[in-house]
Structure 1
Amino acid sequence: MFIRHIAICILLLLSNSLYMQAQQTYGKGEVKSLLLGKGIDVVEEDINILYDTPEIVVATGYRTKFFAVLANKSYAANVESPVLAYGTDENITSINSTFYSLLECYRRCLTKSYAANDTKGYTNHAETVKPLMNGIKWGQGAPYNSLFPIMDKGADGNRAVTGCGPVAVGQILKYYHHPAALDSAKLLYNLASDMHADLGNVNTSSSSNTFRPILMESYNFSPRCVMLKISCIEDLDLVYSEVNAGRPVILSGFGHFFICDGVDGNYLHFNFGWEGVCDGYYTSPYSLSLKAREVLFDHIMIGLEPDMHNGMYKYVKVKSAGSLAQMLTEQEKCEVHSLKIKGKLNGEDLRLLRRMAGAVDDHDYKSWRGSLQYLDLSQARIMDDWENPYYSVDAAKIRFSIWKEVSYMKNGLPAGVKRYEYRFDNITEVQWEELKGMEMDRGEDYVLVKRGDSYFVNYFPLKRTIGAFMFADCINLKWLKIPEDTQSIGSYAFQNTSLETYPQVAN
């Protein structure tokens, strides 16, 4: 027993020794030097090492207002700068759950980068933009929650906190001075009410699905504002381009809504809505490692600005099918809110109308986005067009599947029916060739095509028909009058729109 106890102690000592050797943490003098490189001048005695792991160190000031997240020595060689994040607005006295999750994200990213010896990350070439919301540092407690109800009726009862959703949206409204007469407490209470927030004196939760309709309907924001899921590195460029255009971006990550309002090289400036605490510059994990597949946020809301073209109307008499684009200026394509069309329309025209009404089929949100909300096609006629699809969609995305029953013979007599069914989330090359051989790659209004390793459904317009998915994802569309000669409406034609009532075929 005694020998076993000694052996365990030796193992613990060796383990601790290896941990200390792997950690290679910074001394305060080294922290001071790294901070100075970011313009933070602080004496060593004022440096407080708040959090220390083998991968990262979090330093803050006892008196001087600053914080920094540093990649520890063993991992610093794999990153462009060991300073992963820094700010000078406030000190950090404790680490809340959101900030802890952010630190864990950095730790995982550094570990994966170190293990793969991955020193190549994403590099941003955007211009430097100082924090757009400089001086706007709202929070969730007093005085911002002064109109919220007291949750505990006892003597020590606390009011519900505002929640991060209302604070993020409220700070955007404050940035634009919109509305001009702004009382922060009243605004935050109204926002929480409109969001149907679940109130609590520790956490108040709300859904991002409410942000866009509230901003558009109650505060006259542009229909081009939209919440997107981050799916690739290119989406990160959207954040840079939005901030560069003077538009702050609402982010969602780690169960929290916050704002990006500045850029400095590979650093993004975050406003967390905690009265300045933790506000600062943060390196994107993509800039640390392309292989880590870690993100600080998974959704972004872009296009956040008041609508300057509300009520812009246009009447177009189309000369021939396919000429709609020539009859609209580039500005009108983006800014027309109400459009009436007379004449013939083909697939190319319908694809343009989809884009104007908010559908971005190619996911190119850096390109133009429309504001069309009211569309009158009563005097228009949709034509047959097998050359120009109005909608092209990944077959796996819409869970597209097809089947066919084929009779077979045995001994010269009918023996039964064989069913062929194909799903496009797992189709093989052999099945694809088999499918084409039976001419199952086309239907009444669609053609299946292969692009690389993916399969797409191209939908084509038919006369007197509102085809399948024709106005799907036209998120701006509030009102639609279909052509008077319409005889049928396809599946999911109005899916994910803002239509209050769906058009019907006239009797």
Structure 2
Amino acid sequence: MKQIIKRGSFFTLMFMLLGCLSLYAADNDLITEQITIELEKAGTLPGRIGGSKKYKITNLKIIGEINGTDLNMIREMAGRNSKGDSTYGKLSVLDLSEAKIVEGGDCYYYDYSNHSYYTSDECYTSNDVIGRYAFSGCSGLTSLTLPAGITSINNGTFSFCSGLTSLTLPAGITWIGSEAFNDCSGLTSLTLPAGITSIGDRAFWDCI
């Protein structure tokens, strides 16, 4: 009996070690240098990156127009899909300084907050607006540079982005929606442009 137990313990230990080695190999396989992708047409980011690199890129810069299809891809790369479920994405640094948000493409987020599990509000992109819940739950993002041309940040846009420590908002922003930075617990610095005329309820709730 003792021999059987010891053998079982040995196999358990081996499986644990193999699992750790697999995780170590996966982390070593990450692409850490900045990847710059110039999009000639909105909605083409998934085809430019492909499934093999989707969860390996940690630093991404996008040039050109992006719509809901592209934003959905970015969310998955940053650790959350359109339903808010976690993914294997490791994206932590995102540079959209030379990108432009345009309307069109797929739904990038399903908002269940006012509905049952089976019904939701679908979120789509609009021109020059960081839409509702655009980066919600993407807690792995540590650095984000926003498009220079955006005019507003919508409700819940950065909610639960606990990895963000600082953010500078572009000069053209005039409106910040409700709960836009809700539970951004790591945020220690935020630069607001002088032209802001409205900040929604609980915009900085639980920003400790």
Q: What TM-score, normalized to structure 1?
A: 0.30
Matches within 5 A, 1:90-129: none
1:322 to 20, 36, 43: 43
1:489 CA displacement: 0.6
Q: What one-letter code is carried by the residue in structure 1 that aligns with 2:77?
A: M
Contiguous gaps of at least 5 residues in structure 2: 172-192, 194-208
1:375 to 66, 70, 94: 94
CA distance in structure 1 between the partners assigned to 2:54 and 2:168 by the alignment: 24
CA distance in structure 1 between the partners assigned to 2:24 and 2:81 by the alignment: 19
Q: Please say if 1:501 is aligned against 2:163.
A: no
Contiguous gaps of at least 5 residues in structure 1: 1-39, 41-64, 67-86, 91-129, 136-171, 176-245, 249-302, 401-423, 426-452
Q: Which residue of the partner structure matches residue 476 of structure 1? A: 140
1:335 to 32, 48, 56: 56
Q: What one-letter code is carried by the residue in structure 2 that aligns with 1:496?
A: F
Cα separation, partners in 2 of 1:369 and 1:491, compared to 1, 3 Å: same
User: C-alpha offsets along residues 91-129 of structure 1, whole Å, 9 cap, x if unaligned?
Assistant: xxxxxxxxxxxxxxxxxxxxxxxxxxxxxxxxxxxxxxx
Q: What one-letter code is carried by the residue in structure 1 that aligns with 2:133?
A: F
Does the aligned pair in 1 maintain the 2:82–2:107 contact within 8 Å?
A: no
User: C-alpha offsets along residues 53-85 of structure 1, whole Å, 9 cap, x if unaligned?
Assistant: xxxxxxxxxxxx38xxxxxxxxxxxxxxxxxxx
Q: Which residue of the partner structure matches residue 67 of structure 2? A: 346
Q: What one-letter code is carried by the residue in structure 1 that aligns with 2:110?
A: S
Q: Which residue of the partner structure matches residue 204 of structure 1? A: none
1:382 CA displacement: 0.5
Q: Please say if 1:389 is aligned against 2:110.
A: no
Q: Which residue of the partner structure matches residue 312 of structure 1? A: 33
1:488 to 152, 156, 171: 152
Cα separation, partners in 2 of 1:361 and 1:459, compared to 1, 3 Å: closer
Does the aligned pair in 1 maintain the 2:132–2:156 contact within 8 Å?
A: yes
Does the aligned pair in 2 maintain the 1:360–1:369 contact within 8 Å?
A: no
1:470 CA displacement: 0.2
1:479 CA displacement: 0.4
> Which has more radius of gyration?
1
1:342 CA displacement: 0.5
CA distance in structure 2 between the partners assigned to 1:382 and 1:486 by the alignment: 8
Q: RMSD between aligned alpha carbons?
A: 2.8
CA distance in structure 1 between the partners assigned to 2:33 and 2:56 by the alignment: 7
Q: Which residue of the partner structure matches residue 81 of structure 2? A: 360
Q: Which residue of the partner structure matches residue 108 of structure 1? A: none
1:485 CA displacement: 0.2
CA distance in structure 2 between the partners assigned to 1:492 and 1:364 by the alignment: 16
1:379 CA displacement: 0.4
Which structure would you say has the larger RCO, counting Cα contacts within 8 Å and 6 or more residues apart? 2
Matches within 5 A, 1:223-242: none
Q: Which residue of the partner structure matches residue 252 of structure 1? A: none
1:502 CA displacement: 3.6
Matches within 5 A, 1:208-223: none
Q: Which residue of the partner structure matches residue 420 of structure 1? A: none
Per the alignment, in what secondary structure is the counterpart of residue 315 of structure 1? strand
User: C-alpha offsets along residues 168-214 of structure 1, whole Å, 9 cap, x if unaligned?
Assistant: xxxx7xx4xxxxxxxxxxxxxxxxxxxxxxxxxxxxxxxxxxxxxxx
Question: What is the number of equivalent residue pairs in this alignment?
Answer: 165
Does the aligned pair in 1 maintain the 2:130–2:153 contact within 8 Å?
A: yes
Q: Which residue of the partner structure matches residue 467 of structure 1? A: 131
Q: What one-letter code is carried by the residue in structure 1 that aligns with 2:93?
A: Y
CA distance in structure 2 between the partners assigned to 1:388 and 1:490 by the alignment: 18
Q: What one-letter code is carried by the residue in structure 2 that aligns with 1:493?
A: T
CA distance in structure 2 between the partners assigned to 1:489 and 1:461 by the alignment: 12
Per the alignment, in what secondary structure is the counterpart of residue 455 of structure 1? coil
Does the aligned pair in 1 maintain the 2:82–2:108 contact within 8 Å?
A: no
1:305 CA displacement: 3.6
Q: Please say if 1:458 is aligned against 2:122.
A: yes
Per the alignment, in what secondary structure is the counterpart of residue 76 of structure 2? helix
Does the aligned pair in 2 maintain the 1:381–1:485 contact within 8 Å?
A: yes
Q: What one-letter code is carried by the residue in structure 2 that aligns with 1:357?
A: A
Does the aligned pair in 2 maintain the 1:494–1:502 contact within 8 Å?
A: no
Q: What one-letter code is carried by the residue in structure 2 that aligns with 1:88?
A: I
CA distance in structure 2 between the partners assigned to 1:363 and 1:354 by the alignment: 9
Matches within 5 A, 1:74-93: 88-89=5-6
Q: What one-letter code is carried by the residue in structure 2 that aligns with 1:379?
A: E
Cα separation, partners in 2 of 1:477 and 1:455, compared to 1, 3 Å: same
Q: Which residue of the partner structure matches residue 202 of structure 2? A: none
Q: What one-letter code is carried by the residue in structure 1 that aligns with 2:101?
A: I
1:329 CA displacement: 3.2
Matches within 5 A, 1:28-43: 40=1
Q: What one-letter code is carried by the residue in structure 2 that aligns with 1:378?
A: S
Q: Which residue of the partner structure matches residue 226 of structure 1? A: none
Per the alignment, in what secondary structure is the counterpart of residue 350 of structure 1? helix
1:312 CA displacement: 3.3
Q: Which residue of the partner structure matches residue 247 of structure 1? A: 19
CA distance in structure 1 between the partners assigned to 2:159 and 2:23 by the alignment: 24
